[in-house]
């Protein structure tokens, strides 16, 4: 889910009013960490009760470009608004999260193949940190979207988070929960087994 979320460009959808440009076509956009896409839709295909252009899943002409601030430092302009470079920080956090996830997977593989429980602890730490960084990347991206929307107010835009964000949120939660479970497995004793003998001992002493 993390790889799917990081690699796709459906983090946020930007939609102006559907009759902002003309009565036949309208323009919508969807962004990710690495590139943004604009899509021309037919107004006739949009739900009559919907006030904005979209959703982006409707058929139309799509134009996608990679963000140049990763290479040349140039900002992208969409709907007369300028993309914020904090999006780069979100991408870097996501990549570092993937690196930690791979390291955790290597530790788990070595623990299972070599039967060395020591590798469970670094694996759990890697997974927990990876989940935290994924969620932090999501927060930084949302702040960059808000900065993008406030850069110019000549074109009114409605924004909503898309399905890539759902993948990232679920992946972060799964990574943190999985890391905690691996950390419990790495303990030299089971917390439940430590409590049960004490209860048995107290009951035996009470009976004598």
Residues 78-114: tens digit of each pLDDT:
777 777 666 788 889 999 999 999 999 998 888 777 7
Residue 24's closest CA among 11, 42, 8? 42
40 pairs with which residues across the strands? 27, 61
* Lowest mean pLDDT, pick from 125-134, 138-147, 152-161: 152-161
Q: Has residue 28 got a pLDDT over 80?
A: yes
> What average pLDDT does this structure show over 137-147?
89
The answer as to whether 109 is a domain residue is yes
Number of domains within the chain: 1
Per-residue pLDDT at 154: 78
Report the number of secondary-structure helices (H) and strands (E) in the chain: 5, 7
The answer as to whether 202 is a domain residue is no
Q: For the sheet with 25-31, list strands across it.
A: 60-66, 35-42, 25-31, 12-15, 158-161
The answer as to whether 15 is a domain residue is yes
The answer as to whether 2 is a domain residue is no
% of residues, the chain, pLDDT over 90: 21
Q: Has residue 208 got a pLDDT over 60?
A: no
The answer as to whether 205 is a domain residue is no
> What average pLDDT does this structure show over 184-197?
62
Q: What is the CATH number of the domain that holds 133?
A: 1.20.140.150
- If one compares 134 and 149, the residue with the highest pLDDT of the two is 134
> What average pLDDT does this structure show over 153-167?
86
The answer as to whether 153 is a domain residue is yes
The answer as to whether 155 is a domain residue is yes
The tokens describing 116, both together, are: 């060395």
Cα 73 to chain center, whole Å?
24
Per-residue pLDDT at 97: 93
- Most confidently predicted of 31-35, 43-47, 57-61, 166-170: 166-170
Per-residue pLDDT at 173: 94
182 lies in which domain range? 7-188
The answer as to whether 148 is a domain residue is yes
Q: Has residue 196 got a pLDDT over 70?
A: no
Per-residue pLDDT at 194: 54
Per-residue pLDDT at 162: 87
- If one compares 187 and 101, the residue with the highest pLDDT of the two is 101
């Amino acid at each position: 889910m993390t790889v799917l979320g990081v690699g796709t460009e459906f983090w946020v959808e930007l939609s102006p009013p559907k009759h902002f440009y003309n009565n036949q076509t309208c323009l919508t956009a969807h962004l990710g960490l690495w590139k943004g896409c604009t899509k021309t839709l037919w107004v006739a295909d949009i739900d009559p009760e919907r006030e904005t252009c979209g959703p982006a899943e409707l058929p139309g002409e799509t134009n996608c470009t990679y963000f140049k601030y990763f290479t040349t430092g140039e900002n992208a302009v969409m709907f007369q608004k300028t993309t914020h470079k904090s999006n780069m920080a979100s991408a870097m956090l996501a990549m570092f999260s993937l690196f930690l996830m791979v390291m955790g997977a290597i530790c788990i593989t070595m623990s299972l193949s070599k039967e060395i429980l020591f590798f469970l602890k670094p694996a759990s730490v890697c997974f927990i940190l990876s989940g935290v960084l994924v969620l932090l990347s999501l927060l930084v991206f949302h702040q960059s979207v808000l900065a993008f929307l406030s850069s110019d107010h000549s074109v009114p835009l409605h924004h909503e988070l898309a399905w890539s964000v759902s993948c990232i949120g679920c992946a972060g939660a799964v990574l943190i929960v999985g890391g905690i479970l691996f950390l419990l497995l790495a303990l030299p004793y089971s917390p439940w087994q430590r409590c049960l003998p004490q209860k048995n001992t107290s009951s035996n002493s009470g009976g004598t």
